[in-house]
Every structure is written in C-alpha cells, then in structure tokens.
Amino acid sequence: MSKLFLKPEPTLADYQQYIRDMIVERGFHNTIANEFMLLIEEVGEFSKAARKAAGGTLANNASEQDLAGEAADIFIVMLSLCNSLGIDLEQAFRTKEEQNKQRQWR
C-alpha cells in the first residue's frame, strides 16, 4: 500500500517532493541520461495522442483522458529530472520569467 500523499492544493515544490518520495517508494532510481530518454519518449507519446485527437491518420482518436495522462507523464518525468539535477523548478520558472519580462517580444 502506497504511503504517498499530495495535499489538495499543492505548490510546485510539493509536487517535486511527491516525485522524490515516489521515486524512493517505487524504486525508480534512473540515471540522468535515462531520465532524458524517458522524457523524450513521453513527449513522443503525447505527440502521438495529440495527433490522434486532432484527426490524424490513425482511425481511433485519442480521448482527452489519453492526452491528459500523457501530459501528466511528461510532468512526472520532468520533475524527476529536475530533482536529479538539483533544480528547484518553481524558482527556476520565477527567475526565467523575470528575465523574459525584460526582453523585447515581436
């Protein structure tokens, strides 16, 4: 039985901690190189589901649930990768967005 818990209104830091705990509980200790490959794999699965949902060449359209699940997989792997690299993703976002606010956008 899982002991994982995510509070009802989590912060990004809460999600990152949840993923840290999940990795330990499930024994998913990957190398950084493997995590990057997993991220690319999940992005590919998301792309395939989006193509199906958009009426691509495959007969069976993906449901919103399929798309949401693939997006969640990307989020999970991205947080795990950030954890492995010691990145506080919330702080990284805030810092990058402050830089972006100073840029000239066309």
- State residue 59's pLDDT score: 46
Chain segment 73-105, per-residue pLDDT in tens: 999 999 999 999 999 999 999 999 999 999 998
Is 36 part of a structural domain of the chain?
yes
- The enclosing domain of 91 has a CATH number of 1.10.287.1080
Is 27 part of a structural domain of the chain?
yes
The span from the CA of 95 to the CA of 89, in Å, is 10
Is 105 part of a structural domain of the chain?
no
Distance of CA 54 to the CA centre of its chain: 22
Six token digits for residue 46: 């998301």
Give yes or no for a contact between 7 and 14, defined as CB atoms under 8 angstroms apart: yes
How many structural domains compose the chain? 1
Is 6 part of a structural domain of the chain?
no
Six token digits for residue 12: 């990004």
Is 106 part of a structural domain of the chain?
no
Is 40 part of a structural domain of the chain?
yes
Mean pLDDT of 51-56: 77
Is 4 part of a structural domain of the chain?
no
Is 103 part of a structural domain of the chain?
no
Chain segment 9-32, per-residue pLDDT in tens: 999 999 999 999 999 999 998 899
Range of the domain at 25: 12-98
